[in-house]
Amino acid sequence: MKKYLLLLLIIFNIFSIAVFGQDDVKKTGKIEYKYKMQDARHQFLTNGNVRESLNIYRELLKDYTNDAMVNYRIGECHYRLDNFDLAVEYFQNAQRINDKVDKDLYFSLAQAYHRNNQLDESLEAYNKYNSIASQKDRKFHQITNRISQLDYAKKMMASPVKAKIENLGNAINSRGGDYAPSISADGRTMIFTSRRSDTKGGEVDKAGDFKYFEDIYISIWDSIDNSWGKARPIEGNLNTEGHDACLSISPDGNSIYIYRNDGGAYIGDIFVSKKSLSSGSWGLPVPLEKPINTSYFESSACLSADGNKLYFVSEREGKKSDAQGKGDIYVSERLTRTTWSEPKNLGPIINTPDDEISVFIHPDGKTLFFSSKGHLSIGGLDIFMSKLQDDGSWSKPENLGYPINTIDDDVHFILSLDGKTAYYSAVKGEGLGERDIYKIDLSEYPILADGVTTNLSILKGVITNGENKVEANIEFKNETGAIAGKTVSNESGNYFITLAGGHTYSITINASGYQPLAEKVELPLGKGTTFIKENSFDLVQLPAPEK
């Protein structure tokens, strides 16, 4: 008996040493633990440096493997970095250790499941959250809407549309992020934004996310190889050692709209750069004046093919703006070569309380594409299409369907003149980098099925007086006498417009100090490719008034 009691005493002492030794370590490390947790949270919330936050949590995890909060915070970091499989793993760790570690645990887990394409598990986690969360929290997180989104995702994925999606490969994409593609209406020039190692500064953004700074790249269509040429940094004065991101190239290929945020004079503004017709390089970008740019954030600008309307996204507020949410789509009409009308909010049919981004107006002038979280989506940002009606209203936005839209963010959608080929940026398993640019074959999915927008041709040229370029107003009427379009020639005399092919148009040209000119132009319809016709016109000056 004594031997037995002695053995129990030895075992108890060994156990006590182990336990109290662990407690001593925890007590001596409590201050350091608290400091590191606060530092990591500060990096995540205040500095936006998610990677640094993750590194700190990883160091803590070595000593606190079974700490539910460390695991939960690591899951948050991975979710923010789009590592959804790892986010699921660490949220599950936290749940296993202590499922009351945070009141939003099951909500976070449901989000991660959704973005990791585990839809049934996501629905189960949302239902769990719905059963334990307060009414205020359920309303804040819009749980009912999120569950509806899951049901919608399952429905759309069960009935995929006939779209073939192909990665553009290493001629365009890199190991860094590649996104925001934009193509001229003739389909010959592509620009996009990239965060690769050969950007102008060649440095990473140490004050931000520690990725390479953004630069604008360009690719030219190779008609012999029938493919896009190797992308290169765009020539001219567009790229700097900081962030330079493109928004769109104008349909005529002579203007590029870019976004800049220098943290000083320009905090989220739209700039435009003009192409030199002699050198082919791009000039110094200049900011658009009010009422386009304001003290609020503006971005995602896209010019209509006739040059008369500019669609863009703004976070402006107040009754005058008719804002529906944080980021809304607006349209402004050209008044002169350099001035624009007061922007008009596209209203609640298009805009929602959530963000709308990456707007694209097709060269037909009436089909709008944009990305949104506010309309019913498969997951994250989805791409939607809306048509401008005869009464000036917009049709209810249509989701482009799966597999174009996925459980991830799908943005920057653009469509060719004939409606058969689209491009966008997305994150997919077969990608070359963080985000890649993809080509979408829509030959079996005619999203522009009204028979008009798929029959467009291009008419362009120069207006001169025989020697000098002339800025002029140009009007086009079809065979019935109805106005088919209007445009202006720019300071270089160039005009550009897309019209229905297979028609003869009556053209009237008016310019101050010149005799009006009336001409007829036959504009054929292309067969298998976009038809491009060039017509230049000479104006006759009016005689000088008698003294």
Q: What is the mean pLDDT of each run of 10 residues along the chain (547 residues)?
A: 40 37 48 94 90 94 95 96 94 97 96 94 95 90 89 95 96 94 95 91 76 92 93 91 91 92 70 87 90 90 95 88 89 90 96 94 95 91 95 95 93 94 91 91 86 76 92 95 93 92 96 95 86 94 77
pLDDT at 215: 93
Number of Cβ atoms within 10 Å of the Cβ of 370: 28
Q: Specify the pLDDT at position 165.
A: 97
244 by Cβ neighbours in 10 Å (0-12 / 13-18 / 19+) ranks as: buried
Integer Cα distance of 489 and 481 in angstroms = 22
Sign of CA dihedral 312, 316, 322, 324: positive
- Please, which residues have CB within 8 angstroms of residue 125's CB and are 6 or more apart in sequence? 106, 107, 109, 110, 113
> What CA–CA distance (Å, rounded) separates 485 from 52?
54
178: phi then psi, degrees, rounded to nearest 5: -130, 125
Element (H, E) at 518: strand 517-523
- The alpha carbon dihedral of 466, 490, 453, 217 has a sign of positive
State yes or no: cis peptide before 403, omega within 30 of 0: yes
**What 3-state DSSP class applies to 146?**
helix
- Report d(CA 224, CA 140) in Å as an integer: 55
Nearest CA among 428, 432, 431 for reference residue 410: 428
The SS3 assignment for 229 reads: coil
The CB-side HSE value for 297 (13 A sphere, CA atoms) comes to 13
In this prediction, residue 523 carries a pLDDT of: 95
Question: Where do the domains of the chain lie, and which CATH numbers do they carry?
Answer: 164-441 (2.120.10.30), 453-538 (2.60.40.10)
